Chain A
Amino acid sequence: MAGEKTVLVVGGGISGITAAVEAAEAGCKVILVEKQPYLGGRVARMNKYFPKLCPPTCGLEINFKRIRKNPDITVYTLANVESVSGSSGAYTATIKINPRYVEDHAATSKCVDDCPADISNEFNYGMDKCKAVRLPYEMAFPMSLVADAEALRAVNGSELGAFMDSCESRGIRIDLHAQPETFKVDVSSVIWATGWVPYDATKLDKLGFGKFANVITNVMMERLANVGGPTAGHIVRPSDGKKVNNLAFVQCAGSRDENHLPYCSSICCLASLKQATYLRDYNPEAQAHIFYIDLRAYGRFEYFFDRVRNDEKILLTKGKIVNIFEDPVTKDVIVEGEDIMSGEKIRRAFDMVVLATGMQPTTSIDKIPTAGVEYDEFGFLVSDQGIHAAGVTKRPMDVGTCLQDATGAALKALQDTLGR
């Protein structure tokens, strides 16, 4: 299907999905490439969107429906773009598809309960385990199982054989010898939408992530509050499963920091305000305390900020947290810093702490495999000629802005297909 009027979209998160469906509904053929076994990227792992506090799967489902119905969109999951050459109107890209190792008609997590190997559940940011043969998440698109071949190979032969036979009888065929497939496509346009990764919180050595069980990051908090998460939506402490009554949010954990991410990630303030509502909804007795430098609720999000700060059990302190300790007995987390307004020291204990880590562009780690692409000093894509960026590949953005940007990228791609 490649060739004339074809657009290659790299990254199947919300920006890539949007660029793909918008371009396809405007008459382009689209190839959408995603490295994970499912579409949806970061937003698929979020519990709710600010400011409406609605589930991301609602909008994703509509987009998946648009993809399912549209024969002009080809989706490759578990796939990478290995190289891109050419220029606007005529590119050649090499795509590598990694095997799923499982061919199934069942498409349900329940089918693999008897899988003999467990792996860390990356969808839940490693907070729990899942089976090595699994549906990535309940609403996954495509709704197909995926297997971790390495984990299965580690299982002893007879046990593995029995499991594979039992799968076979249920219409699930596991093939640990499956090989990656590499091929070239000719396309008119390329949209790069590989999004972001949460900043690695273990680099913030004074904030205790990775050392103290009850220090988690904001992306983990999304899973903790989600019914499909490791605790089925119960907001409890990782150390002892105790209901969280007293939660702290530490803003700018890595962002606006010369030693880490010198820019502002734009969305973390709103994300913490939102997550404070998760706790308050789950546990009406609980209190949330947000420590921030500037509360950046921009534009119409100001209404949301207003709504949240009217909750008397959501406290806001302008202050920078510099140190986090653990009470070795209670496993409570003690935060230390300075209250900017009073100049006084902050030292308070909490059941759990959420680090509001920022967004690091994926392109700062995995560059686009082509020549002549320009990045800014932080790794965001700059060039607006040639390959088009969409979403957080350009700058930190909230979801709505990503969609506006991705829709614009679809028009840039449409222009490329005209062979100007």
Chain B
Amino acid sequence: MSQKTGVYIDTGYGIGEALDIDALSKVATKEFKAALCRADSYWTSPDKLAIIRNDIANEGLTAVLLAGPSSRVFQQELSFEGVITERVNLREHVVWCHPANDEDTQMLAEDYMRMSLTKIGKYEDRPAFLEPKEKGILVIGGGYTGLTAALEAADAGYQVYLVEKESQLGGWATKFSKVFTGKPPYDQIVDSPVSKKIEAVLSHKNIKVFLGKRVYSIGGAPGMFDVVIRPDGAWNENLVKTQNEWLAAKKAKEGKGEEPEAAKTSEEAAVPAEVFVDEVDFEHEDVSVGAVVLAAGWRPEEPSGMEHLGYGKYADVITSLQLEELALNGKIKRPSDGREVKTIAFLECIGDDVQHPWLYSSAVGCLVALKQAHYLRKSNPDGRAYIFYDNMRAPGQYEKFYRAMQDDPGVFLSKGIPVSVSNGSSSLSLEVKDTLLGEKLKVSVDLIVLSTGMIPATKDAAIVNLKYRQGPFLPENPNGFNDSHFICFPYETQRTGIYTAGCVRGPMDFLSCETDATGAALKAIQCAELVSQGKAVHPRAGDESFPQIFTQRCTQCKRCTEECPFGAYDEKPDGTPMPNPSRCRRCAICMGSCPERIISFRDHSVDMIGSMVKAIDVPDEYAEKPRVVCFICENDAFPAIDMAGINRLQYSSYIRFIPLRCLGNINMVWIADSLSKGIDGIMLIGCKYGDDYQCHFVKGSELAEYRMGKISETLQRLVLESERIRVHQLAIDEYDQIPKLVDDFMETLSGFDPNPYKGF
């Protein structure tokens, strides 16, 4: 689409002194026939902005190109309603890191001008995706977390559907004798706060509760999820079995295959039809919602490897959960003979050599032991509790609770590793080593309590039962939970519009569950609101562009459906992809994956980037001016390059950076475009990947590396050295390495002849 573009060159910041502004203007006006080009200093000052607004009104500009400081600054000042705004980074990427009044610096600036003007010419006018309309929230799980999420969302005016598999609400919270709340005065334990929540949920006008029911399936997309709710029954077991078998087969395949998950091209990844037979002759209810909160909670881990501690052998060696049951009955009595318990040993850790059987309880295990010691001391003033731990974990203000228990003469606390349990005459004999009292200690106790591990419900089943091409499960992170950025963006999962909360994402106390549930409810509301306006959610919140596919040219290779980290694509019966725009996070990884180059956004397309590459003015081979195109991640590498500029780090001016939405956005054809244009080398800079990935789209940079592994074969066929392409992982704070990365690459290229395709 042709645009009427106004170009504004900022001569401030040292730009005017470093560059030939007239020559730069001519690129805009002569080469690209821009409607107007003005050069002046500090365009972001109010009087200068007024000039731009005047031009827009009087000249009918449809696009504004500001050549000056980085797009990371003055973003709000330089946005004009209804007008395309592009930026040329003359400041951080040109004059601050390259010599002033230098031929190569000038050529760099002019190339960036050409590339940006080319980009503007490739914008298309397409409306936002406005189909999603539903704003109701589905909450899965009626325990403390689910109840809180439901109430908080309902209190904000949203319709909530709460699905609980049991016949009553409350979950584990109803099964605990007392709880610690994390609220002042911190050293008390109180009755479970759950009953009040249950009452509030049951009487709330915005909440519809489904008891004894499960989510049978979720289809659709954010703002338009179709949820089928079905009474619990044998069907669930069958469904879980089928789904888990499918997942196991998929994992086994990935485990032995050389190709990463994303590169599979087969149909095995598709969910088998039997998982969701479209049977309608069962009792069910349908609801439509905008977003989902998964608060399915946890189940106790069955202790294993505890034989030496008598678990399973002696009736009086029990788990902390079993103790709650005993405590609910008042006086704590021994399971073996019903005798009232006088002494209990609580074992929190069982030694360094064991692979954390208690991992899942380590956030709360110590506190539970302290609480249960309190039960004993309350129910039997002569009672004595021993707590053996490796590290006593009572974080924050819970320290006060720990101290209160330390002050209780009936509670003995020590570091210690349990060695063995044997049957004494009337009690159990426990041997503990490495205690504070010395090497070995023997105590006789009535009851031994093992800390209960908490296994997230998602370990056993998909629960959300998504009718997605990529399967019914929420993808797991390397720690086995479903969140995808648990430090910086803890609510993100790889399924847009579905947020996890509470113990399904790690062991938590009540207080943490409550705050977590409230946050998840906000994210669900936010998602429903944003998609109803045609906007993306995090991390490109507000983006109205979405992928469009020119299906006629699709070869059904399925790469887009498989590589999307968010499962945005389903499949039509003919094998072509079916986009679900409101599931999309706009990373454009699909655009990079498509060998037919038929996926595009209104402001971002294969043609657009390819044309930008082609707009570079490549000197002939005798000029001895090599050219490098460097595709960079706009989220981390781009700011890092800005930092290099701010620090005035100098590097070769033969390089041209092209920011992408994610390095996984890289399309192989751009490599071919670059090489056929005579570009001598190509660099890719993306985020760190692996278990501790930093990619905001989870696996974009990893995919880019994988794709480049394939291109080296192509290069060899073209009789071009494979070293002409280099992929780097760079964290945002590693800007100091940029000069070396660039200059090392230039050094490598200097060992090769110029690209022989120059001038073709």
Contact = CB atoms under 8 A, between A and B. Distances in A.
Contacts of A406: 519
Contacts of A70: 541-542
Given A25-B526, A52-B487, A300 B481 contact: yes
Interface in A3-32: 22, 25-27
B399 A298 contact: no
Chain A to chain B: the 3 pairs with minimum beta-carbon distance, closest first: A59-B488, A408-B518, A407-B519
Contacts of B481: 300
A53 B395 CA distance: 22
B542 A69 contact: yes
Interface in A25-43: 25-27
19 contacts: A22-B522, A25-B526, A26-B526, A54-B692, A61-B635, A139-B732, A227-B733, A227-B735, A262-B399, A262-B403, A300-B506, A303-B479, A376-B184, A376-B397, A377-B185, A399-B487, A399-B488, A403-B489, A411-B522
B264 interface: no
Interface string A244-256: 0000000000001
A126 to B, nearest CB: 22
B490 A264 contact: no
Interface in A133-170: 135, 138-139, 143, 170
Contacts, number: 230
Interface residues of B, number: 91
Given A405-B515, A410-B522, A61 B13 contact: no
A287 to B, nearest CB: 20
B643 interface: yes
Contacts of A171: 12-13, 41-42
A170 B16 CA distance: 11
B525 interface: yes
Nearest to A378: B397
A283 interface: no
Contacts of A52: 487, 692, 694
Contacts of A51: 692
A395 B184 CA distance: 11
A349 interface: no
Interface stretch (A107-115, A204-212, A321-329): A107-115
A264 B732 contact: no
B182 interface: yes
Contacts of A397: 396
A167 to B, nearest CB: 13
A318 interface: yes
Contacts of A400: 486-488, 490
Size bracket of the A interface: 35 or more
A296 B522 contact: no
Contacts of A54: 487, 688, 692, 694, 731
B518 A412 contact: yes
A226 B732 CA distance: 12
Contacts of A299: 362-363, 506-508
Given A226-B733, A227-B735, A299-B362, 10 more contacts: A27-B529, A54-B731, A57-B732, A68-B75, A69-B542, A135-B646, A294-B393, A303-B359, A303-B479, A411-B525
A20 to B, nearest CB: 13
Contacts of A203: none
B750 interface: no
A370 interface: no
Interface in B609-658: 635-636, 639, 643, 646-648
A402 to B, nearest CB: 9
Given A139-B643, A171-B12, A61 B522 contact: no
Contacts of B96: 108
B487 A296 contact: no
Contacts of B398: 264
